[in-house]
A and B are shown apart, each in its own frame.
Chain A
Amino acid sequence: MARENGTPPLRFERVSVNFPGVDALREVSFEVPAGETRIFFGAAGAGKTIALKVALGLVRPDSGSVFVFGEDITKLKEQDLFEIRSRVGMLFQESALFDSLTIEENVAYPLVNQKAIHCPPEEVAQRVREALEFVELGHTLEKFPSELSGGMRRRAAIARAVVTNPPLILYDSPTAGLDPVTAHTIVALIMKQRDLRRTTTIMVTHRYQNGNLLANYRFDAATGTVVPAKGVAETASRTKFLGFREGQLVFEGTQAELDASTDNYVRKFVKHNG
Chain B
Amino acid sequence: MDFLKKWVLDVQEFVLLSGRAIANVFRRPLYVDDIIVQMDLIGVGSLPIVLMTGFFSGAVMALQMSRALAQYGQVERTGQVVAITLVRELGPVLTALMVAGRNSSGMASEIGSMKVTEQIDAMRALGTDPIKKLVTPRVVATATVLPLLTIIADFTGMIGGFVISYYLLNLTPLQYWTSVWQSLEYNDVGQGLIKPFMFAFAISLVGCFYGLRTTGGTQGVGRATTQAVVVASVLVFFLTFFITKIFVGSVT
Contacts and interface: CB of A to CB of B under 8 A. Distances in A.
A110 B127 CA distance: 7
B21 to A, nearest CB: 14
A269 interface: no
Contacts of B121: 53, 58, 92, 96
B118 interface: yes
A90 interface: yes
Interface stretch (A78-86, A124-132, A175-183, A251-259): A78-86
Contacts of A117: 127
B127 A96 contact: no
A116 B127 CA distance: 9
A261 interface: no
Nearest to A160: B126
B122 A113 contact: no
B220 to A, nearest CB: 15
21 contacts: A58-B125, A78-B124, A82-B127, A85-B126, A86-B127, A92-B118, A92-B122, A92-B125, A94-B117, A96-B122, A98-B114, A98-B119, A98-B123, A99-B113, A99-B114, A113-B126, A113-B127, A114-B126, A114-B127, A115-B127, A160-B126
A99 B127 contact: no
A86 B125 CA distance: 8
Interface string B123-139: 11111110000000000
Task: List the 5 closest pairs (A to B, CB-CB), nearest first.
Answer: A114-B127, A96-B122, A96-B118, A113-B127, A92-B118
A94 B118 contact: yes
A98 B122 contact: yes
B128 A85 contact: no
A93 interface: yes
A189 interface: no
B122 A85 contact: no
A109 interface: yes
Contacts of B127: 82, 85-86, 110, 113-117
B111 to A, nearest CB: 12
A114 B123 CA distance: 10
Contacts of A135: none
Chain A, interface residues (CB within 8 Å), range: 20 to 34
B118 A93 contact: yes
Given A99-B114, A109-B126, A114-B126, 17 more contacts: A56-B124, A56-B125, A58-B121, A85-B124, A85-B127, A92-B118, A92-B121, A92-B125, A98-B119, A99-B119, A110-B126, A110-B127, A113-B127, A113-B128, A114-B127, A115-B127, A117-B127
Nearest to B127: A114
A90 B119 CA distance: 12
Interface residues of B, number: 14
Contacts of A97: 119, 122
Interface string A89-107: 0101110111100000000
Interface in B8-36: none
Interface in B117-166: 117-119, 121-129
Contacts of A85: 124-127
A225 to B, nearest CB: 31
B193 to A, nearest CB: 32
A117 B113 CA distance: 29
Nearest to A86: B127
Tell me which of B113, B121, B129 has the highest count of chain A C-beta atoms within 10 A of its own C-beta: B121
A109 B124 CA distance: 11
A121 to B, nearest CB: 14
**Of residues A79, A86, A96, A99, which shows the largest number of chain B Cβ atoms within 10 Å of its Cβ?**
A96
A93 B125 CA distance: 14
Interface string B229-240: 000000000000
A92 B124 CA distance: 12
A35 B124 CA distance: 25
Nearest to A82: B127
B10 to A, nearest CB: 14
Nearest to A90: B125
Most buried by A among B118, B122, B128: B122
Interface string B176-216: 00000000000000000000000000000000000000000
Interface in B91-124: 113-114, 117-119, 121-124
A97 B119 CA distance: 7
B184 to A, nearest CB: 42
Contacts of B122: 90, 92, 96-98
Nearest to B121: A58
A21 to B, nearest CB: 12
B92 to A, nearest CB: 31
A90 B125 CA distance: 7
A58 B129 CA distance: 11
Contacts of A78: 124, 129
Contacts of B124: 56, 58, 78, 85
